[in-house]
Amino acid sequence: MLSVEKLANDVSLPDYDRTRLRPRILHIGFGAFHRAHQAVCADRLAREQQSDWGYIECGINLQGNSKLVSNLRQQDCLYTVTEMADSGKTSRAIGVICDTVDARTDGIEAVIEAMSQPEIAIVSITVTEKGYCHHPANGQLNLEHPVIQHDLANPDAPHSLPGVILAAVKRRRERGLPPFSVMSCDNMPENGHVTRNVVVQLAEKHDAALADYIRHHLTFPSTMVDRIVPAMTQEALDELGETLGCYDPVAVQCEPFFQWVIEDNFVNGRPAWEKAGAELVQDVLPFEEMKLRMLNGSHSFLAYLGYLAGYQHISDCMADEHFLHAARTLMLAEQAPTLRTQNVDLTAYADSLIARYQNRAIKHRTWQIASDGTQKLPQRWLDSIRWHLAHNSRFDLLALGVAGWIRYVGGVDEQGAPVEINDPLKETLAQRVSESADGEARIAALLSLQKVFGDDLPANAQFTACVLHFYQLLQQHGAKETVKRVITSY
Ligand code: NAI
Ligand code: CS2
């Protein structure tokens, strides 16, 4: 456990009076990313601007484990963040967490009650794309989702993110408390709109007046978030313990880079995030699209092709000149032209992304990024492919990415070993794979996943032929050689 007395001298400690903090933001999803991103920003504000904005950390995932939150409680809500550069590490202890509440240990009622405290002005979220229970292809609430079905039957004891938010809004309204702003920090385009959609659509099923209240009184600012924060492993925690001076089970490691662009649309106040490195803007969409397509799009390409090629980490992919060249070409030739972003030097942006991927101190597993592909592909690749089809331009690398994903979810790697697929549609994927012969039939079976590819892409002969072509190259030559051939003849 972390103990301040044992921490090494070079770990920077919160130098502010933690008792002054007010729990005004409730954050849902105490994952690695939140710990290294939004919480660090709030900690900087408390240190440098005497901000009193503190966090209540909240877990609602009944399938997850509550170990992190219980560990955090045992160490006085303190934990460390270590920035990893090739040139060295910098660690700081984060002190902005005032309290925690977890549905698994405290019950969902305690969660709703915490969200209904008068002081809560913002509910922020990092629950991964799948936590929103929406159709990734169109952003609408998935009413057939088992947790949504549960919440429709049990609105006062919900299990889903939209259900929990709705129950809290209802209670606050009944008590005459001011509404809060709901801020998604997950990697989705127009993440605020997606969140608003799922909450309002669920509300409509119960109570039209409540849905109307949400439309008029709550805001759902969108954000673009960026910092590479790999999942911690036991090995990384043990190693880090040596540097920190004591073992911190809640510790995270991240790259030095930090970016946060926030739509300035809050109903009940907000911290002065702009004083700690964030940008407050009117329209986040151009920033989100740029990041999702250039960064996340190339990440997913490297994840599937890199995994198949035997590269464990993104930095290993970067040591292969053909993978590096393919990632940069994907960004600049196939993603950049599709963007609405203005006044940004996209070549410089691409080069900065490659430099970040080359950071060998960050062990970002291709397998981790490959997870939840059905939730990620639409915004990372498929909208760009639609753009190219409409503009009659080239999308070879995007199609190679789709072919790589199909090989990956086929469940067997190039050495014949099983691939551990992590995806909310894992059963559906496995069924389609087992019921189709490898090759054209497999491609058709997977592309017909309407929730991911829509109706248009599987019906487009140019798209399916392109994916088939690259799939066959992967079958014949393997991922390493295919990427080399495709990029050398590009
Ligand atoms: P993580 O796995 O460490 O944490 C995910 C959190 O979401 C956990 O607290 C988990 O309990 C909760 N969760 C998962 N499924 C849920 C569900 N169905 N309902 C409610 N809660 C659920 O992942 P991490 O690294 O914190 O990333 C989370 C998200 O943050 C990503 O999916 C992405 O959208 C965003 N992000 C992550 C970055 C990174 O480098 N790790 C960078 C930029 C954005
Ligand atoms: C990654 C992202 O896991 C993934 O899918 O592409 O988490 C990526 O590391 C972040 O978006 C960087 O900000």
Q: What is the pLDDT of residues 424-471, one digit of tens each?
A: 999 999 999 999 999 999 999 999 999 999 999 999 999 999 999 999
For a substitution probing ligand 1, which of 83, 128, 368 has the most ligand atoms within 8 Å of its CB? Answer: 128
- Residue owning the nearest CA to atom 9 of ligand 2: 228
Q: What is the pLDDT of residues 317-369, one digit of tens each?
A: 999 999 999 999 999 999 999 999 989 999 999 999 999 999 999 999 999 99
φ/ψ of 68, rounded to 5, equals -60, -50
- Residue owning the nearest CA to atom 14 of ligand 1: 127
Give dist(CA 55, CA 24) in Å, integer.
6
| Nearest atom in ligand 1 to 424's CA | 18
Q: Which of 162, 140, 141 lies closest to 151 in space, CA to CA?
A: 162
Structure tokens belonging to residue 307: 């995994």
Distance 156 CA to ligand 2 centre (A): 34
Distance 125 CA to ligand 1 centre (A): 9
- Residue owning the nearest CA to atom 1 of ligand 2: 369
Ligand 2 close to Cβ of residue 299 (< 6 A)? yes
Distance 43 CA to ligand 1 centre (A): 20
The pLDDT of residue 143 is above 90: yes
Distance 189 CA to ligand 2 centre (A): 13
Ligand 1 close to Cβ of residue 198 (< 6 A)? no
Distance 297 CA to ligand 2 centre (A): 9
Name the residue with tokens 């058709």. 444
Cα 246 to Cα 71, 81, 238, 249: the distances in Å are 14, 13, 9, 10
Ligand 1 close to Cβ of residue 33 (< 6 A)? yes
Please name which ligand lies nearest the alpha carbon of 424: 1
| Nearest atom in ligand 2 to 299's CA | 6
The pLDDT of residue 265 is above 90: yes
Give dist(CA 161, CA 169) in Å, integer.
12
Ligand 1 close to Cβ of residue 308 (< 6 A)? no
What mean pLDDT is predicted for residues 188-214?
97
Number of H helices, E strands in the chain: 23, 11
Please name which ligand lies nearest the alpha carbon of 39: 1
Ligand 1 close to Cβ of residue 229 (< 6 A)? yes
Determine the pLDDT at residue 405: 98
C-alpha triplet 51, 52, 55: angle, nearest 5°: 115
393 CB neighbour count, 10 Å cutoff: 12
| Nearest atom in ligand 2 to 230's CA | 9
The pLDDT of residue 65 is above 90: no
Q: What is the pLDDT of residues 35-64, one digit of tens each?
A: 999 999 999 999 999 999 999 999 999 887
The pLDDT of residue 211 is above 90: yes
Name the residue with tokens 């409409």. 390
For a substitution probing ligand 1, which of 126, 195, 227 has the most ligand atoms within 8 Å of its CB? Answer: 126
What's this model's pTM, rounded to 2 decimal places?
A: 0.97
Average pLDDT of the residues of the chain: 97
Half-sphere exposure of 431 (CA within 13 A, CB side): 6
Q: What is the pLDDT of residues 219-241, one digit of tens each?
A: 999 999 999 999 999 999 999 99
Q: Are 275 and 48 in contact (CB under 8 A)?
A: yes
Give dist(CA 264, CA 302) in Å, integer.
34
Distance 310 CA to ligand 1 centre (A): 25
- Residue owning the nearest CA to atom 8 of ligand 2: 228
Ligand 1 close to Cβ of residue 228 (< 6 A)? yes
What mean pLDDT is predicted for residues 251-255?
98
Give dist(CA 289, CA 380) in Å, integer.
9
Length of the chain counted residue by residue: 490
